[in-house]
Structure 1
Amino acid sequence: MSEIVDAHLVVDRGGFRLDVRLRIGAGEVVALLGPNGAGKTTALRALAGLQPLSAGHVTLAGVDVDRPDRPLWTPPERRPIGVVFQDYLLFPHLNALDNVAFGPRRQGADRRAARALAARWLERVGLRAYERSRPRQLSGGQAQRVALARALAVHPKLLLLDEPLAALDARTRLDTRAALHRHLAEHDGATLLVTHDPLDALVLADRLVIIEDGRVVQEGDGATITARPRTDYVARLVGLNLYRGTGDGHSVRVGADLVLTADDTVHGDAFVAFPPAAVALHPKRPDGSPRNAWPATITGLQRHGDNLRIQLDGPVTVAADVTPAAAAHLNLAPGQEVWVAVKAAETHAYPATPH
């Protein structure tokens, strides 16, 4: 896989500093995730040329487009990039056909050739029948597809997607995500997807890059990230309880008063993780004394899908998922004291420093 994007994005803005390295190959989709304020949008804007770098570089398909040390900076319209913004930003005075034809026209195509190309792209995204429609006449899903066709019509080396599904309702999002997945699979350039939604990232991307406070904290494929989170944010993202401690064989000490047992063997600085669904709650210390059992106090309850998500405090804070029937049987309520039990077989331990 040839490399399309080679970037070291360094942006100083007020008291915030973005310092992120990105490499994306041809045909590869990379998702950039992180909490609000992590620097996702700043990174996208730097790649697009909307935010000049303070240091570092942006190289696209072997050509430098931003190198502050030279100095060299290429304006957005001269970069081989297509962008789909969160709110799509379609031109309200142009119909769908002319919105898509806009990029090819800017690249020098005559009106007839640009419109013919735009018609082919609208056909590909299933909207040929809507080519005369203005943006206000389109549904959210249709507007998203027009924006995608407009971005791809310029044959970009790099496609940037800024929260492309965030403005859609749940049903439209499901259908549009599936269609977007097909179109990205056909794109032979590089794609960077900026999102806060783990499902969008896991479905659409080949690789995930997670940033917090302007830095990369973890990257890898979806299976690696979900199996071995390395920060509290990533653990919450993939729905796991995560603790850091000191391993000694099958045991990990995660606090002064708690040692967790896992099937894995680990020594030294380590993480231990388990899903909320692996947590069982009991009104008193469970019979048989599971190796991972401790007293805790309920601090909160909220609906989580078909279950209830129970927040507990004790030697460690922990989230547990229980059925409504189980919650009613135990008469669970904030302030109540219970026993937490987690099977060692469902507790995963791994080194805190990746090999």
Structure 2
Amino acid sequence: MTADLSVAGAGAGVGGPLLDAHLLVERGTFRLDLPLVIDPGEVVALLGPNGAGKTTALRTLAGLIPLSAGHLTLAGRDLDRPGHRVWTPAERRPIGVVFQDYLLFPHLSVLDNVAFGPRRQGLDRRRARERAAGWLDRMGLAEHARRKPRQLSGGQAQRVALARALAVDPALLLLDEPLAALDARTRLDTRVQLQHHLAAHAGATLLVTHDPLDALVLADRLVIVEHGRVVQAGDAATITAQPRTDYVARLVGLNLYRGRADGRRVLLADGFAVTVAEPLRGDVFVAFPPSAVALHPGRPDGSPRNSWPATISGIQRHGDNLRVQLTGPIGVAADVTPAAAAQLRLAPGQPLWAAVKAAETRVYPAG
């Protein structure tokens, strides 16, 4: 793959959304059905499990996969509308792309990598290099202009790739897992820098990522896809407070169950009843964080309103704590400190009791 996607200038600003698309793509047995609207200056994160359709969506926007139906309008201009036989090739789209592996030209200097897009737009060598130099200066990379990509660190290569994409003044910037190739420390620093540069970008930005932290830090809005369809969309606060699928719950670190509420009692699908803090009626979701789950060697007495026998199926390190996976009437994840784990002598296959206070639960309508 070359950087030809980053070589068309952005269209004139228009009122309303900058990107207005309904991506309908059929590839064998897989079908993508994704409405997508992004305003000028807005960053939208597209998340989902492997095979959900994220890559198909990105490649369709970039012009590498044609729509089967629907439309793709950017800056007031139809780029792909099969019903009207409109199709714009990748190299003529006002789009910049930062690939997961950056895909810098190894034989070109950093300066000429960034100047490549402006040259393709028709600028002469001098003016293209002037524009590239300006972008490298903004990225804090001016002193690396004459280096080759192999002489850069991972964080530096990521910023060069971003400069190359932005140097063509794209109406739409596509970021494909832009931080995935970096080590943990470099990722932290580069995420902060990327946040700064995206805030200054006047066009629309779509961030494709598996990492919820990247999405929460960098994006204004999240769109979550599963099996080619949107399952949830909104700002981070709404989605983290009220996940609506198991994938979303795992993404934001919550235990999630669906059941039928009758006041403060919720009967889950497998017949297990949970007492919750807020009274509701009808189909609901019940959620609580792993940190709300207390583990006991025997049946607990006292305040917990929900307790049940469980068996440890796995233990993994999770930040400073341990995450314990439990089977039983309901599957659940619990976070415990290493000290508590040692005191309880936790081990796979061990029976114990789990408890969650009603006050620690969230309950909200499933409809």
> Which TM-score applies when normalising by structure 1?
0.98
Distance 2:171 2:303 in 1: 59
Cα distance per residue 1:283-304 (max 9 Å; x no partner) = 1111126211111111111211
Residue 239 in 1 paired to residue 253 in 2?
yes
Question: Which amino acid in the other structure matches residue 232 of structure 1?
Answer: D
Matched, 1:186 2:200: yes
Q: Write the distance in 2 (CA, Å) between the matches of 1:349 and 1:261.
A: 10
> What's 1:296 paired with?
310
2: CA distance, partners of 1:6 / 1:291: 49
Distance across 2 between alignment mates of 1:99 and 1:20: 33
Map Cα deviations across residues 155-191 of structure 1 (whole Å, 9 max, x no partner). 0000000000000000110010000000000000000
Give 1:33's match in structure 2, choosing from 23, 47, 52: 47
Name the CA distance, whole Å, in 2 between partners of 1:270 and 1:223: 19
Distance 2:299 2:321 in 1: 23
Other structure's SS at 2:18 match: strand
1:277 aligns with 2:296: no
Q: Distance in 1 between matches of 2:96 and 2:172?
A: 6
Choose the corresponding residue for 2:171, options 145, 153, 157: 157
Instruction: Tell me which amino acid in the other structure corresponds to 1:273.
Output: A
Deviation at 1:264, TM superposition (A): 2.2
Partner residue, 1:333: 347
From 333, 344, 352, the equivalent of 1:319 is 333
Distance 1:300 1:256 in 2: 22
In the alignment, the residues of structure 2 paired with residue 83 and residue 122 of structure 1 have an alpha-carbon distance, to the nearest angstrom, of: 17
Letter in 2 for 1:219: A
Cα deviation, residue 342, structure 1? 0.5
Distance 2:341 2:159 in 1: 44
The Cα of 1:256 is off from its aligned counterpart by 4.4
Post-superposition Cα deviations, 1:52-100, rounded to whole Å, max 9, x if no partner, equal 1111110001110001112111001111100000011111111011111
Match of 2:74 in 1: 60
CA contact (8 A) 2:312 2:347 kept: yes
Counterpart residue number, 2:56: 42
Q: Distance in 2 between matches of 1:233 and 1:92?
A: 38
- Report what 2:137 is aligned to: 123
Structure 1 runs (4+) deviating above 3 angstroms are: none
1:109-120 matched pairs, under 5 angstroms: 109-120=123-134
Matches within 5 A, 1:101-116: 101-116=115-130
Q: Is residue 320–residue 337 contact of structure 2 (8 Å, CA) maintained in 1?
A: yes
Unaligned runs of 5+ in 2: 1-14
**Which of residues 20, 27, 40 in structure 1 aligns to 2:34?**
20
Deviations 1:266-286 (A, max 9, x none): 211110000000000111111
C-alpha distance in 1 between matches for 2:271 and 2:78: 55
Residues of 2 paired with 1:255 and 1:2: CA distance? 43
Q: Which of 313, 320, 323 is residue 309 of structure 1 equivalent to?
A: 323
Cα displacement (A) at 1:263:
1.6
Residue pair 1:141, 1:173 contacting (<8 A) in 2 also? yes
CA distance in structure 2 between the aligned counterparts of 1:117 and 1:158, rounded to whole angstroms: 19
What residue is the counterpart of 2:17 in the other structure?
3
Do the aligned residues in 1 keep the contact of 2:303 with 2:357 (CA within 8 Å)? no
Contact 1:255 1:315 in 2 (8 A): no
Q: Which amino acid aligns with 1:283?
A: P
**1:148 equivalent in structure 2:** 162
Partner Cα distance (1:146, 1:256) in 2: 53
Query: Which blocks of at least 5 consecutive residues in structure 1 are unaligned?
Result: none
> Which of 176, 181, 190 lines up with 2:190 in the alignment?
176
Structure-1 residue corresponding to 2:239: 225
Deviates more, 1:184-193 or 1:105-114: 105-114
Structure 1 residue 2 displacement after superposition: 3.1
2:96–2:168 Cα contact (<8 Å) kept: yes
Conserved? CA contact 1:31–1:201, under 8 Å: yes
For residues 238 and 109 of structure 1, the distance between their equivalents in structure 2, rounded to whole angstroms, comes to 46
* Contact 2:23–2:70 (CA under 8 A) maintained in structure 1: yes
Give 3-state SS (helix, strand or coil) of 2:178's partner: coil
Q: Once superposed, what is the RMSD of the aligned Cα atoms?
A: 1.0
Greater alpha carbon shift after TM alignment, 297-306 vs 342-351: 297-306
Q: 1: distance between equivalents of 2:226 and 2:337?
A: 33
- Give the match's secondary structure for 2:199: helix
CA distance in structure 1 between the partners assigned to 2:32 and 2:257 by the alignment: 27
| Displacement of 1:345 | 1.2
- Output one character per residue of 1:298-317: Cα deviation in whole Å (capped at 9) or x when no partner: 11112111111111111110
- In structure 2, the partner of 1:200 is 214
